[in-house]
Amino acid sequence: MSRVITAKFGGTSLADASQIRKAAEIIKSNPEIKYVVASAPGKRFKDDIKVTDLLYSCYSEFAKGDEFFPTLVKIKQRYEEIIRELGVTFDISAEIDTIEQTLKKYPPADYLASRGEYLNSKIIADFLGWTFVDAAEVIFFDENGHFDGEKTFMTVNAKLRDIPNAVVPGFYGSMPDGRIKTFSRGGSDVTGSIVARSTQSDIYENWTDVNGMLSADPRIVNNPLPIEYITYTELRELSYMGASVLHEDAVFPVRKAGIPINIRNTNAPDAKGTLIAASLPKDVKRRPVTGIAGRKGFTSVRVEKSQMNGQTGFGARLLYIFSRNGVPFEHCPTGIDTISVVVNSSAFDLRRDDILREIKNELSPDFITIEKNLAVIAVVGEGMVSARGTAAKVFSSLADAGVNIRMIDQGSDELNIIIGVDESDYETSVKALYSSMIEK
């Protein structure tokens, strides 16, 4: 039996007719690609404006009572150019009239925002000679606006089962009353994942404009090596720390179904990209460290109390003070008589006085020390468990670079080592870690 592939193409991959032609070539050259999920046209050049952003501007102009027609005309012109250059027959004027009429009836912003993927997908379906399936008919949110997985998976499956090839617009679905609702920005990745899961695809290809995920931030490290293989767990750690390649919610539907995601580059279709899977083929050789990611903007609140270890519930009470003040903790390294709670600085600063007062009143600590301007770096790799001396290498490379480590936290699964350094040492640390742990 032949495999089934769901392929999602992002905004830059479908930004104009020549990009759409590239995507179409990829699609047509692989008969296993049965379903395509399309984004709205993205940026064609650096200072260009994405169609979705134009749609949001159009909506806010309308909502303020300003003249929105010129923006709507700009949107129309983007599509007219695409239609003309692809040589398809598509009545864009009628579509734009419908949008304008609906807009006059004051529709929700989500309706307008969704039209970018709606129109692009219709045009692409025409160009490919495939069936267009409106996401509003198959992707559902409940009355509270939460994604309704069960109903959606069933409906997408039932609808697509009998259609050999379909194009589904990304980014939106509908509410029980029929109103359009979008996912958060970048949400076409989520639609792609939903379609892959519902159609029991063998693989979810996510076509974008980079050769996959990189092992470090290219703004800090020159030409970092791409990541060929990564597990979902590693991806989660790296994305949480700021490495972004996919919408965060796009992982869950396919991960649950054990479907791998392959990030590919529309502009370099021969590159293998990054394969994200639950577990990787045995013969794949990987470095102990898969990637490095980090973020600035943390504060560490270190609470010291002698014989703290003998007091049951001390840690729980401390964390509860943060949680009831609405400040989630990010890391929590502990010593015998100390606990540090590492939190996001901007969230902490808003509640700082209350939190400190409550700690003093409720826990009577000996000392509270606050360290601001902390950057947190995660060195992530499942291979670290079996590679001896990884931690030693992490610390010596930072020492050699003259960096003072201000916090260390190792996840219990030995998947990552988390290091806190001064924000001013952040870039130096990432470079040092990259060259000792990855480049070598």
List residues binding ligand ASP (CB under 6 A).
Answer: 11, 39-40, 50, 52, 116-117, 170-171, 185-189
Q: Please, which residue, 184 or 404, has the CB nearer to ligand ASP? A: 184
- Residue 184 or 200 with smaller CB distance to ligand ASP: 184
Cβ distance to ligand ASP smaller for residue 26 or 403: 26
- Which position has the token pair 């912003």? 109
Q: How far is the CB of 213 from ligand ASP (least distance, A)?
A: 17
* Residue partners of 267: CB distance under 8 A and separation at least 6: 22, 209
Nearer to ligand ASP, 186 or 420 (CB): 186
CB of 414 to ligand ASP, least distance (A): 34
- Strand 338-344 and strand 33-38: the pairing is unpaired
Closer residue to ligand ASP, CB minimum distance, 9 or 298 = 9
CA separation, residue 100 to residues 63, 71, 94, 96, 400 (Å)? 13, 11, 10, 6, 63
Residues whose CB is less than 8 angstroms from the CB of residue 193 and which lie 6 or more positions away in sequence, other chains included: 204, 249, 250, 251, 252, 253, 254, 261
Least Å distance between CB 385 and ligand ASP? Answer: 35
Report, in Å, the least distance between residue 432 CB and ligand ASP.
35
169 and 37 Cβ atoms separated by less than 8 Å: yes
Smallest separation (angstroms) from ligand ASP to the CB of 145: 17
Nearest residue to ligand ASP on Cβ basis: 188
* Cβ-based nearer residue to ligand ASP, 263 or 355: 263
**Phi, psi torsion values for 369, nearest 5 degrees:** -120, 130
Q: Compute the least distance from the CB of residue 125 to ligand ASP, in Å.
A: 17
DSSP 222-245: SSPPBPSEEEHHHHHHHHHTT--S
- Pair 293, 380: CB distance under 8 Å: yes
The nearer residue to ligand ASP, 191 or 340, going by C-beta atoms, is 191
Handedness of CA 186, 188, 194, 196 (dihedral sign): negative
**Taken in order 428, 429, 432, 435, is the CA torsion positive or negative?**
negative
Tokens of 377: 């770096």
Nearest residue (CB) to ligand ASP, 193 versus 429: 193
Q: Which of 287, 142, 177 is nearest to 229 (CA)?
A: 287
Q: Please, what is the minimum distance in Å from the beta carbon of residue 54 to ligand ASP?
A: 10
**Residue ranges of E strands in 170-306:** 172-174, 180-182, 203-208, 229-231, 261-265, 274-277, 291-304
The CB-of-39 to ligand ASP minimum distance in angstroms stands at 4
